[in-house]
Each structure stands twice: as structure tokens, then as C-alpha cells.
């Protein structure tokens, strides 16, 4: 993947940054197929005690449930957790041998507890199709200032950035497109928040902050992270704008975990449900702002590109705080 920011416009609207040179991700073939498909299974239980159905009265919790809860202690939980966390299950990846063993174990435990299976065939498992994609990343990801071939900065795969294929195709590719800083990348009418304001972002790569606004308890539930702050929402949001890619800027504070978690989470095969025709970006990625082996990504971009991305982000945050909890959205 080769791309990233040039300068963004004022912090109140999506801003143009840099031009990416060329970004290609290759999906590693497996078993002679570029996109391996497997079968996943969902455990379905027939007895759901005490769960009210919409439109019905809430059921009283049986006295026996309190007695049963009293029997649960640390040892009761530690034993199954120890087994499920064992290396013998090889990580329990979807559609793997360890996953199948886990399903059998859980089904056996449910049967032991006296629960009844709820799948259509009378069994415990409901089968569904699953797609596994393993992206082969280029060694570096480079960004250049628009109209200035000499002004280029590159980042190392995994050390500085990670990416994944947003499409279920043998190749995901982005060529010579603009990057645009879009704040948090959130559209939330109920919070008077719109980071897009109708801007035409088709064919762009969007750069966005992690998390959701959390500086006021009245805004976006304060420090409680809503779906607006999840990375899945951000990539979906970018796809709805017609963008071809999205890059989330990672910091330990905004994510709640170090860069190593991002790096390892996006290593190896990624699983998802088959494409149903929903909007998709070509490539999604993360760029670390905190790097212990080189200057931060934003600082390098600022120095090499003579852009103002780092300043623009700070201006954006300051402007939004000054606007107040229910202040106007960016225009």
C-alpha cells in the first residue's frame, strides 16, 4: 500500500492531504483458491430462561436461578477457561480443527447442564458460510505530496502500519488517489455531529482519528465507547461515502491498547461473512502515531511533505471542544 496525507483544509471540513502512489494487497491463495471459503458454526440453545420477548411481560427470575448462581465460583470458571485457552486448541480460529473441538466441548457442556439444542436439524450447530482472507502486504507504504515527486515519506509494514483487504477478490488495489482527513469519520445526527457535511469523497482514501469524542460526559456517552468509535464503524462509514480506502491513526490513549495489539490482530487470515453487495472499501489500514524506532508518522509527514496534518488534527479537536457539547457540526 502506498499512500497518505498532504495538507488538510480547515478543521471544520474534510481536508485534502497527500497523494498515494500505488497500493496493492494480494490475497494469498489457499488450496488452489484465491478466496478460501469454509463453514462456520454457531451454537444454538433452545432454552433461554427469563429472557422477555418484545411485546411480552418481563418474566420474574426464578428463585432457583439465585441458588444456581451461588454455586458458581472461581474454580467453576477457571477449569473451562483453562481448557479453552490451551495451546492444544491452536487458537480456535474460525473453521479450524481447534474451532471444531471447541464447538464439541461447548455442546457437551450444554447437554450436561440439561439444556436443549435449538438448531433446525435438532442439533447444537447452525452452519453458515465464512470467507478467510490473508493479505500479503508490500514492505513499505509511501506517501508523496501532490505535484512533488521528491517529497515522499515511507513507512515500514507492521512496524508503522498494517492493512487488510476490504474486498473478497484476489487483489485489492489503490492507485494515485488523494488522502483526506475527516476527523473522527462520524455521522451522528442524534449528537449534532457530521464529519462529512456532504463532501464528495468518492475515490478518496480517508484518514480518521480513532475512538469517538470523549471529552464531555454528555457527548457520545463520554468515556464509554459507542459503536461510532469502533474501527468497524469507521471502515463501514468510509465505504458509505464511496471512499476506496480508510486509514485510522492509532494512539495507545485513543485505542486503549498498544500498537502491538493492532499489529498482531491483523496478522494472518481474517474471517468475515460472504459479500452480500454492501458498500466496501478496497483497503483499510492503521497507521501508528507512537513509534519507538522512528519519529511519529504525523511528524514525518509534516517534515517531509511540509504539510500541516499534525496541526490540522489538533486544530480540529480544539475547534470541536470550543463548539461545546451541542455545538454546530463542521461546515
Query: Of 279 and 305, which is predicted with more confidence?
Result: 279
- Residue 299, number of CB atoms within 10 A of its CB: 14
- Residue 302 binned pLDDT confidence (cut-offs 50, 70, 90): low
Q: Is the pLDDT of residue 160 over 90?
A: no
Residue 285 in any domain: the answer is: yes
Question: Using 50, 70 and 90 to split pLDDT, how confident is the model at 173?
Answer: confident
Q: What is the pLDDT of residue 127?
A: 85
Domain boundary among 132, 162, 186: 132
The rounded distance, in Å, linking the Cα atoms of 185 and 198 is: 12
The pTM for the full model equals: 0.70
Mean pLDDT of the chain: 74
The grid coordinates of residue 64 equal 432457583
Q: What is the mean pLDDT of residues 186-215?
A: 87
Least confident interval from 4-13, 19-28, 140-149, 206-215: 4-13
Grid cell digits, residue 169: 477478490
Last-in-domain residue among 86, 109, 132: 132
Measured between alpha carbons, how far is residue 272 from residues 94, 100, 226, 298 in Å? 10, 17, 22, 31
More confident residue, 293 or 130: 130
Q: Which residue has the cell 474534510?
A: 14
Q: How far apart are CA 157 and CA 132, in angstroms?
A: 21
pLDDT, tens digit, 9 for 90 and up, residues 176-187: 788 888 888 999
Residue 260, SS3 per DSSP: helix
Are residues 195 and 181 located together in one domain of the fold? yes
State which of 109, 132, 155 marks the end of a domain.
132
Q: Please check whether residues 250 and 162 belong to one and the same domain.
A: yes
Compute the chain's Rg from CA coordinates. Answer: 23
Strand-strand pairing, 179-181 and 205-209: parallel
DSSP string, 3-65: --------TTS-EE--EE-EEEEEEPPBTTBSS-EEEEEEE-BS--TT-PPTTSPPPPPPHHH
For residue 189, what are the domain limits?
15-28+134-323
- Model confidence pLDDT, tens digit, residues 85-129: 999 999 888 888 999 999 999 999 999 989 999 888 889 988 888
Q: Which of 136, 144, 41 lies closest to 98, judged by CA?
A: 41
Q: How many domains, in total, are found in the chain?
A: 2
pLDDT reading at 291 higher than 80: no
Same domain, 91 and 160: no
The CA-atom distances, in angstroms, between 30 and each of 63, 133, 138, 268, 303 are 53, 9, 19, 12, 42
Is residue 270 assigned to a domain?
A: yes
pLDDT at 246 over 90: yes
**pLDDT confidence of residue 228:** 87
CA 235, CA 233: separation in Å to the nearest integer? Answer: 6
Amino acid at each position: 500500500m502506498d499512500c497518505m496525507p498532504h495538507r488538510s483544509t480547515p478543521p471544520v471540513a474534510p481536508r485534502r492531504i497527500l497523494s498515494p502512489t500505488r497500493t496493492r494487497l494480494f490475497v494469498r491463495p489457499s488450496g488452489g483458491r484465491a478466496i478460501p471459503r469454509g463453514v462456520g458454526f454457531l451454537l444454538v440453545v433452545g432454552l433461554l430462561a427469563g429472557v422477555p420477548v418484545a411485546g411480552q411481560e418481563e418474566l420474574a427470575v426464578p428463585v432457583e436461578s439465585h441458588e444456581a448462581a451461588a454455586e458458581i465460583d472461581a474454580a467453576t470458571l477457571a477449569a473451562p477457561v483453562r481448557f479453552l485457552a490451551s495451546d492444544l486448541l491452536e487458537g480456535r480460529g474460525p473453521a479450524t480443527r481447534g474451532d471444531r473441538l471447541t464447538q464439541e466441548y461447548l455442546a457437551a457442556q450444554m447437554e450436561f447442564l440439561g439444556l436443549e439444542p435449538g438448531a433446525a436439524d435438532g442439533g447444537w450447530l447452525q452452519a453458515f458460510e465464512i470467507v478467510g482472507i490473508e493479505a500479503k502486504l508490500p514492505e513499505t507504504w509511501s506517501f508523496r505530496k501532490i505535484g512533488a515527486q521528491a517529497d515522499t515519506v515511507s513507512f515500514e509494514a507492521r512496524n508503522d502500519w498494517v492493512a487488510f483487504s476490504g474486498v473478497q477478490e484476489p487483489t485489492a488495489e489503490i492507485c494515485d488517489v488523494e488522502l483526506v482527513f475527516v476527523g473522527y469519520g462520524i455521522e451522528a445526527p442524534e449528537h449534532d455531529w457530521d464529519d462529512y457535511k456532504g463532501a464528495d469523497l468518492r475515490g478518496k482514501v480517508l484518514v480518521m482519528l480513532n475512538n469517538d469524542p470523549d471529552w464531555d460526559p454528555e457527548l457520545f456517552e463520554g468515556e464509554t465507547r459507542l459503536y461510532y468509535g469502533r474501527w468497524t464503524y469507521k471502515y463501514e462509514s468510509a465505504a458509505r461515502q464511496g471512499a476506496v480506502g480508510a486509514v485510522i491513526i492509532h494512539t495507545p490513549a485513543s485505542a486503549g491498547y498498544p500498537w502491538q495489539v493492532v499489529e498482531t490482530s491483523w496478522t494472518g487470515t481474517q474471517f468475515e461473512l460472504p459479500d452480500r453487495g454492501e458498500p466496501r472499501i478496497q483497503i483499510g489500514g492503521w497507521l501508528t502515531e507512537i513509534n519507538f524506532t522512528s519519529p511519529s508518522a504525523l511528524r514525518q509527514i509534516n517534515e517531509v511533505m511540509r504539510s500541516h496534518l499534525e496541526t490540522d488534527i489538533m486544530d480540529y479537536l480544539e475547534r470541536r471542544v470550543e463548539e461545546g457539547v451541542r455545538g454546530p457540526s463542521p461546515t
